[in-house]
Structure 1
Amino acid sequence: MGACALLTDANISSGLESNTTDITAFSMPGWQLSLWATAYLALVLVAVTGNTTVVWIILAHPRMRTVTNYFIVNLALADLCMAAFNTPFNFVYASHNVWYFGRVFCHFQNLFPITAMFVSIYSMTAIAADRYMAIVHPFRPRLSAPSTKAVIAGIWLVALALAFPQCFYSAITVDEGATKCVVAWPEDSRGKSLLQYHLVVIALIYLLPLLVMFITYSIIGLTLWRHALPRHQVHGANLRHLQAKKKFVKTMVLVVVAFAVCWLPYHLYFILGSLQEDIYCHKFIQQVYLALFWLAMSSTMYNPIIYCSLNHRFRSGFRLAFRCCPWVTPTEEDKLELTPTPSLSMRVNRCHTKEILFTAGDMATSEVTNGKAGCPRGE
């Protein structure tokens, strides 16, 4: 990113492999460093705790193991790893502009952030596609468990392939006695290659999936909010079921909007840096980057809060997970929310048609499928 680069476009990291000074042009006062450290520490603690709890709630309770929730687990794992393995090290590098973590970790840090972000946003896209099929085309077959695992594996493989160029060109340099972890693009086409790569990455891990989700959720919203139940069905299970669908769609739209808002300034920062590299030589750019990076990384901690606030089944799971805290008191209803109860399912077989109504939660869905297609998988 230039001789004065504060950091690179992937997330920097690498260890000190030669003697370096601890004072650079970007060193900041102790009180300022303490404030930033506190902000980043709070972010990491909330993100790691929240996403770990989400994974536990889904994997430890059979009732929560649905197609949609497996994608939520994938999203939570990506956010968890981003918070734990990228945020602290990148903060240390950005706050000191000195590299303390080694050559191998430099390659890892330039590989993993793009990978995790790709996995996060395409897990959201997969959830949108799954909801689209369940709500807009309920008669078509749903993803099976093996197909879901294959999609998740495919997301990770494509993510690794997209991030590989930055990992491959990662290098350790020494600038005025300070060790740096940078992405050393080929000299013959450095500026052009860097800008092109940034634009491709941003299109694939931000613009394209957001466009797909905008269209998908718009169609889902029109389908749900224009859906009118017959008068004799506007009560009981059918009404609760429709409301549950609407609430889940609202939850996921909020997750997507939070992600989009948090990452937009960060992407704009690196596009500007690709066009005008001298901005990285200004002293104030360190504070700008730390603020934009905190905002981007904060996207990893919002999803558990959204799930807990808008979904009563996840809320019950959080109460059970933190029941050791004196201010948290789970009830019997919380335990029942996560316990499989066959009586909550009603199966009606008429004229080779099966209708399954799951009426007990925000994640529930209602589907009507042809008898030859078998029982729907997922919610």
Structure 2
Amino acid sequence: LKLLMRTVTNYFIVNLALSDLLIAAFNTLFNFIYASHNVWYFGKEFCRFQNFFPITAMFVSIYSMTAIAADRYMAIIYPFKPKLSAVSTKVIIGIIWLVAFGLAFPQCFYAEIMIDNGMTKCIVAWPDDVGRKHQLMYQIIVIALIYLLPLIVMFVAYSIIGITLWSSTVPGDHTNRIYYHRQVTAKKKFVRTMVIVVITFAVCWLPYHLYFILGSFREDIYQQKYIQQVYLAVFLLAMSSTMYNPVIYCCLNQRFRSGFRLAFQWCPCIKATEGDKLKLIYPSTSQLIRNQPSVFIGFRAGWTFSANPFLLLPTKKCRFESIKIYQKIMWLLSNCLS
């Protein structure tokens, strides 16, 4: 079961979940306290850390969503091209973290403690001579690489995927059409899920970036009466984007719900079923069992096996190893007949 879950997309989703968890742990709480009290209580070293690691996690989260979009694009538009190996996927994830570290480093480098009217502040103090110019340049680069570029990549990828799936024709005979229809339906559901994730990301982060762009052009904006409340609102909206992802996945993805129940089945209030395991091992099996088809689509396109082989599937009392044996038998049959 664990090996079956180690797909390229799932690697990126785990990376996305990890970065979102780090944002929630290190960024949201401390920045909320700072924005609410307008006083930094946590010292100089943590000020530097706060301007480096949580920001890195934010950038990783965004690039992970972009990587998922690119992976789905290649898998659906070019299905016969070799997939990324586990090693290549891990290398890409490592590059994502390195790029995020590089983009976050300037804020850490210039972060310092300042006393203003007796209150301690954690600020990013750019050099006096060209500070404003560098700050504006940095904000533009960040918005281009962390907001606009990922949005363009995700929008283009999911647009092409959506057009391809919704305009595709169903090949083959009736039995192949049933199988093909289920595959396309599953892919459409995934695309809908990710489009909602992208829209949520765009809406949540737009006010945050606009706030800092306006501040780069007009520094007096930070002296306005309710600017602290405005910053707190746009900050919480941006940080809340990490909270919506698991909610969206849980609401729209049946396999995600099954995986969640299996992962947390130790909790007394959560009960995993045999069907949950079946959905993760062989996603379409449970649907096929409910429909009780008269034929089974072989592992090689064009081959069908008559009768009703799903009568051979184990009941709840049987061990799940029999499913794997069953799948191997069907695969061997398809190879022998080809």
* Fold shared per TM-score above 0.5: yes
Higher helix share: 2
Q: Alpha carbons of 1:103 and 1:346: their partners in 2 closer, same or farther (altered >3 Å)?
A: farther
The equivalent of 2:59 in structure 1 is 118
Q: How many Å apart are 1:328 and its aligned residue?
A: 4.2
Query: Which residue of structure 1 lines up, in the alignment, with residue 149 of structure 2?
Result: 208
Shift of 1:327: 5.5
Q: Which moved more, 1:339-348 or 1:206-215?
A: 339-348
2:42 maps to which of 101, 117, 122: 101
Share of identical aligned residues, percent? 67
After superposition, what is the alpha-carbon deviation per residue over 1:89-122, rounded to whole angstroms, capped at 9, x for unaligned?
Answer: 0011111111111111111111124312221111
Partner of 2:260: 318
- Give the distance between the partners of 2:30 and 2:87, measured in 1 at CA: 36
Alignment of 1:43-122 (within 5 A): 61-122=2-63
Maintained 8 Å contact 2:75/2:83: yes
Contact between 1:68 and 1:130, CA under 8 Å: does it hold in 2?
yes
Q: Aligned with 1:180: secondary structure? A: strand
Structure 1: 4+ residue segments shifted above 6 A = 340-345
Give unmatched runs, 5+ long, in structure 1. Answer: 1-59, 351-379
Amino acid at match of 2:80: F
Are the counterparts in 2 of residues 99 and 180 from structure 1 also a CA contact under 8 Å? yes
For 2:164 and 2:138, the matched residues in 1 are separated by: 38
Work out which of the residue numbers 89, 94, 97 in structure 2 matches 1:156. Answer: 97
Tell me the TM-score normalized by structure 2: 0.80
Give the distance between the partners of 1:341 and 1:118, measured in 2 at CA.
Answer: 32
Distance across 1 between alignment mates of 2:177 and 2:170? 9
CA RMSD of aligned residues (A): 2.3
1:227-246 matches, within 5 Å, as 227-230=168-171, 232-233=173-174, 235-246=177-188
Residue 136 in structure 1 maps to residue 77 in structure 2:
yes
For residues 342 and 250 of structure 1, what CA distance do their matches in structure 2 show? 19
* Structure-1 residue corresponding to 2:300: 348
Computing the radius of gyration from Cα coordinates, the structure with the larger value is 2
User: Which has the bigger relative contact order, CA under 8 A and spacing at least 6?
Assistant: 1
Structure 1 contact 74–120 (Cα < 8 Å) conserved: yes
TM-score normalized by the length of structure 1: 0.72
Q: Distance in 1 between matches of 2:77 and 2:259?
A: 29
Equivalent position amino acid for 2:279 in 1: E
SS of the residue corresponding to residue 188 of structure 1 reads coil
1:269 aligns with 2:211: yes
TM-superposed deviation, 1:279: 1.8
Any idea what SS the aligned residue of 2:183 has? Answer: helix
Between Structure 1 and Structure 2, how many residues are aligned? Answer: 291
> Deviation of residue 244 (structure 1)?
0.7
The answer (yes or no) to whether the contact 2:39–2:119 under 8 Å persists in 1 is yes
Counterpart Cα distance in 2 of 1:187 and 1:129: 41
What stretches of structure 2 of length at least 5 have no aligned partner?
287-296, 303-338
Amino acid at match of 1:239: H
Matching residue of 1:223: 164
Structure 1 counterpart SS, 2:299 = strand
1:192 aligns with 2:133: yes
Q: Give the match's secondary structure for 2:39.
A: coil
